[in-house]
Amino acid sequence: MQIPFNIDKLDRLLDAEGIDFLLINDKNTAQYLLGGYKFFFFAQKDAIGISRYLPTLGYPKFKPEDAFYIGHMLESQQQEVEPLWINNIQNIQWNTKQAGEEAAKKIKKLGYSDKKIGIEFCNTPTDTYMALKENLPDAEFVDVLVLMQELRAVKTEFELNLLRNSSNFITTSMEKVMKGTKPGTDTKSIAQALKEEETNFGMNFEYCLVAAGNSYNRTPSDKLFWNKGDILSLDSGANIDGYLGDLCRMAVIGEPTDTMIDLLSQVRSINDAPRKVIHQGITGQDLLEEAYKEISCCDKNLDFKFVAHGMGMIQHEAPHIYDKGIIPYPAPYKDKALESGMVLSIETDLKYDGIGFIKLEDTVIVTENGFEAFGDNIRDWVSNENA
């Protein structure tokens, strides 16, 4: 069976770090390495009894034939209809400690008990790690979270299509909710309406940040309301088969004032600025400079917040291009060339007293000669005529 990811790239990444063996138990990373396979029983939550479900995949560098998978006892039937590329499969796992113990047995049997083993530290439960350390005392464990995100930084056409649909379904849902909501509706109800629209498309809803009127509070609440003449900001994430759409759009009950039009126009000009230079080969710094240049041309009295980050199975994944945002991480693509197939979320927001929170967030795909934008509709004010 064909391996569903770029195994040559994985081997190169592991080899560059001197890593001999890869051990993965994060659901997102495991899904990627297994070509989209995810055990349906734990697709939403992974707690069971007094522990958690922990899909565990082992991969020895350069030896895919020796890869193994340790799954839950109930997984065998799903694998009958969704076969995996891995031959060595044991569906015996009931808890996280056992997952570590069984993985250690297999690693020892394969001859890697004293080698450098890559794991994702933040996704490895403490009892799993303790079991690995106890049973593999001579092994060196190193973090591979960034490495695994780098592996999936360039999206396949199949992945891009999932992201395209996710983005388009979100903005379509937003437009329907924005135009159909009655004045005086609380933001909790608005978020629920958006959730229902997105799930009607078969999406897995994740969140909705919603700000109404002159409030900057984006928590869905039955104490905050969208009233006549007020603005609404909807910032929502939902996924299809694990691939996340994340966009923000603006609406107003009635017609936008001249000030509203001017403010959103400036926000959009900043968000659009990177599109002038995006193509394969530019660096993240090139993209950031275009945004900063546009900010310098906007109203100096306004405090615009701009950020750009990678998108895919999670928010803020590779390519990481900005190391000074509210979420701190190294940004190798600030000075490294972007590649065709990389996906960026580009967002600009503004707080304006008396009007409220104004934001646009777009999904842009790097192509060989430019870009493609997903969910690129309703980027101006959406007017709700229920006034």
Give residue-wise pLDDT tens across range 129-142. 999 999 999 999 99
Q: Work out the average pLDDT over 277-301.
A: 97
Do 32 and 178 belong to one domain? no
**For residue 111, what are its two tokens?**
């001859």
Write the CATH number for 303. 3.90.230.10
Q: What is the pTM of this model?
A: 0.95
Q: Work out the average pLDDT over 31-39.
A: 97
Domain final residue, candidates 124, 151, 178: 151
Q: What is the rounded distance in angstroms from the CA atom of residue 368 to the CA atom of residue 238? A: 28
Residues of the chain with pLDDT > 70: what percent? Answer: 100
pLDDT tens, residue by residue, 116-130: 999 999 999 999 999
**What is the 8-class DSSP label of residue 164?**
H
Do 308 and 370 belong to one domain? yes
Do 343 and 296 belong to one domain? yes
Q: Work out the average pLDDT over 344-361.
A: 98
- Residue 63 in domain: yes
pLDDT at 293 over 70: yes
Q: Model confidence at 387, in pLDDT bands (50, 70, 90)?
A: low
Residue with tokens 């064909």: 2
- Residue 2 in domain: no
Domain ranges, residue 325? 157-384
pLDDT tens, residue by residue, 159-193: 999 999 999 999 999 999 999 999 999 999 999 99
Q: Which range has the worst mean pLDDT, 43-52, 54-63, 205-214, 268-277? A: 43-52
Write the CATH number for 71. 3.40.350.10
Do 236 and 314 belong to one domain? yes
pLDDT tens, residue by residue, 224-251: 999 999 999 999 999 999 999 999 999 9
Q: Is 60 helix (H, G, I), strand (E, B) or coil?
A: strand
Do 166 and 28 belong to one domain? no
- Residue 101 in domain: yes
- Residue 270 in domain: yes
Residue with tokens 């009892």: 127
- Residue 108 in domain: yes
Cα dihedral value 59, 242, 96, 98, nearest 10: -40
Do 194 and 321 belong to one domain? yes
The number of distinct structural domains making up the chain is: 2
**For residue 175, what are its two tokens?**
């437009």
Domain final residue, candidates 87, 116, 151: 151
CB 243 within 8 A of CB 159: yes
**What is the 8-class DSSP label of residue 110?**
T
- Residue 186 in domain: yes
